[in-house]
């Protein structure tokens, strides 16, 4: 919690630490009243009522309108809700004690178990072990990808048992994320929270990060839905990067609801209609971000890779008025052509429930290509020529369709090779993505 937020919260409680002011809010919650009416209700003098109302106006908890010489006051319910959303959450309240108790106790644990930078022993207590693991995680940089040998090397500077500590940092405390032998640090703290939404029979597990300051913010909305992509703990290696540059960041991930297998749940909801529920998810999350005052309505940029990229491009074509732009990589733009030319036949048949010859219309309706003429926002497309999941010709066809319609596309062909991970591609292109996001939000 920032010092400004702390002072606002302190003022809030000071103003409301008065029985008569609380009663005034209760009366005004039922309708507007004049000073004279309020004085009669509370058996107080009118100047006293005016004093109390002035204190409540400092917090914008009451509004006023004039009718001749009479002033009528009403409860500003939206200001009350906003204070509740921004300051009166359990997470914000817990931060108030950080400097008093939490930090002191954690410092004691570190003093007990560290000799300089050497860990004397791994604590048996899970709570104390969590403090040590949090400290170990701080030895890793954000926006950096580490191979397992590099993770072990960093941990072994402090303790010999790298495998146990590494495993707990990934599985128990969710401080590092692992994907195909690559690790990166996951941000934590008061700027981050988990949120969930019910959608189409599943629970969307989302991670939200907010930068310092007062919203609404330009926002990066990452689509990370798909088979093998449904980990509720996943966060982009660029998540902290976006906050550091003034963007809010939210990653949408599909939970498994009542299904034991997340992949089965994802395909179950798909029902042979790829894109339908994912676009509904985007609408649901966008609406919530706006209601909370977190996102600027004209400055939400979509991002995603592979299947998420296809969804982001589909959204730009089917919901063109809602998005400031899209930054995508390894995209599928034409499901029929991708089925014929790339190495995804089994996945795509499972996605649609049949090959394209049996469902040609659905393959067409789920493809961003046919909506290219509707796109109103700029697109940054990062495509690897050697990615076996994607077809070069489908991207060239999409580029041509957008160009013919006069749309803004910045296409960058990458040369990483077939074995490169999407996270490696996105991290290498972060400055390009940052410039694009800034420009897209400035244009909107």
Cα angle 390-391-392, degrees, rounded to a multiple of 5: 120
Total residues belonging to the chain:
444
pLDDT of the residue at 129 = 95
pLDDT of the residue at 422 = 81
Q: How many CA atoms lie within 13 A of 163 on its CB side?
A: 0
pTM given for the model: 0.74
CATH of domain 3-86: 1.10.10.10
Name the CATH topology of 192-443. Rossmann fold (3.40.50)
Residue with tokens 């040609």: 360
* Three-class secondary structure of residue 226 per DSSP: coil
pLDDT of the residue at 3 = 66
Give the helix/strand (H/E) hosting 129: helix 126-137
Domains 3-86 and 192-443 share a fold: no
Rg for the chain (alpha carbons), in Å? 26
Phi, psi for 148 (deg, rounded to 5): -60, -40
Six token digits for residue 83: 């204070």
Chain centroid to Cα 432, Å, comes to 20
DSSP structure string for 306-363: THHHHHHHHHHHHSTTT-SEEEEES----HHHHHHHSS-HHHHHHHHSS-TTT-HHHH
Nearest to residue 410, comparing CAs of 379, 383, 441?
379
pLDDT of the residue at 259 = 43
Nearest-10 Cα torsion for 97, 103, 105, 109: 160
pLDDT of the residue at 257 = 44
- Sorted by where each begins, the domain ranges of the chain are 3-86, 97-185, 192-443
163-184: pLDDT as tens digits: 999 999 999 889 999 988 899 9
Six token digits for residue 188: 């934590």
State how far the Cα of 380 lies from the Cα of 327, in Å rounded to an integer: 5
Low-confidence ranges of the chain (pLDDT < 70): 1-3, 86-89, 91-102, 226-232, 255-262, 417-419, 444
pLDDT of the residue at 96 = 58
Phi, psi for 280 (deg, rounded to 5): -65, -40
pLDDT of the residue at 343 = 81
């Amino acid at each position: 919690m920032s010092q400004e937020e702390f002072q606002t919260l302190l003022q809030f409680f000071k103003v409301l630490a008065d029985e008569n002011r609380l009663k005034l809010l209760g009366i005004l919650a039922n309708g507007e009243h004049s000073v004279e009416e309020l004085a009669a209700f509370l058996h107080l003098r009118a100047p006293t009522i005016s004093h109390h109302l002035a204190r409540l106006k400092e917090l914008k908890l009451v509004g006023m309108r004039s009718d001749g010489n009479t002033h009528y006051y009403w409860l500003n319910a939206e200001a009350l809700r906003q204070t509740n959303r921004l300051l009166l959450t359990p997470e914000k309240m817990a931060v108030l004690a950080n400097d008093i108790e939490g930090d002191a106790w954690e410092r004691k644990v570190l003093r007990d178990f560290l000799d300089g930078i050497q860990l004397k022993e791994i604590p048996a207590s899970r709570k104390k072990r969590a403090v040590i693991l949090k400290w170990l995680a701080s030895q890793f940089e954000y926006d950096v990808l580490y191979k397992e040998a590099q993770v072990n090397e960093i941990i072994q500077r402090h303790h010999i048992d790298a495998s146990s500590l590494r495993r707990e940092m990934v599985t128990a405390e969710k401080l590092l994320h692992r994907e195909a032998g690559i690790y990166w640090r996951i941000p934590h703290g008061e700027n981050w929270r988990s949120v969930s939404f019910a959608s189409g029979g599943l629970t969307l597990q989302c991670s939200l990060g907010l930068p310092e300051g007062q919203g609404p913010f330009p926002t990066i909305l990452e689509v990370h839905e798909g088979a093998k992509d449904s980990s509720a703990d996943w966060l982009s290696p660029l998540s902290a990067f976006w906050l550091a540059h003034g963007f809010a960041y939210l990653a949408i991930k599909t939970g498994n609801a009542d299904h034991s297998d997340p992949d089965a749940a994802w395909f179950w909801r798909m029902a042979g209609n790829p894109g339908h529920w994912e676009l509904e998810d985007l609408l649901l999350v966008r609406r919530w971000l706006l209601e909370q005052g977190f996102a600027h309505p004209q400055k939400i940029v979509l991002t995603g890779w592979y299947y998420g990229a296809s969804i982001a491009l589909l959204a730009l074509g089917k919901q063109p008025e809602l998005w400031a732009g899209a930054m995508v990589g390894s995209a599928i733009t034409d499901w029929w052509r991708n089925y014929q030319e790339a190495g995804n036949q089994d996945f795509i048949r499972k996605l649609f429930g049949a090959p394209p010859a049996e469902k040609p219309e659905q393959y067409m309706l789920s493809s961003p290509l046919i909506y290219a003429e509707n796109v109103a926002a700029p697109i940054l497309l990062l495509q690897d020529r050697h990615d076996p999941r994607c077809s070069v010709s489908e991207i060239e066809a999409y580029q041509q369709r957008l160009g013919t319609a006069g749309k803004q596309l910045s296409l960058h062909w990458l040369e990483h090779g077939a074995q490169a991970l999407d996270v490696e591609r996105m991290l290498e292109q972060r400055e390009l993505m940052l410039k694009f996001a800034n420009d897209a939000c400035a244009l909107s």
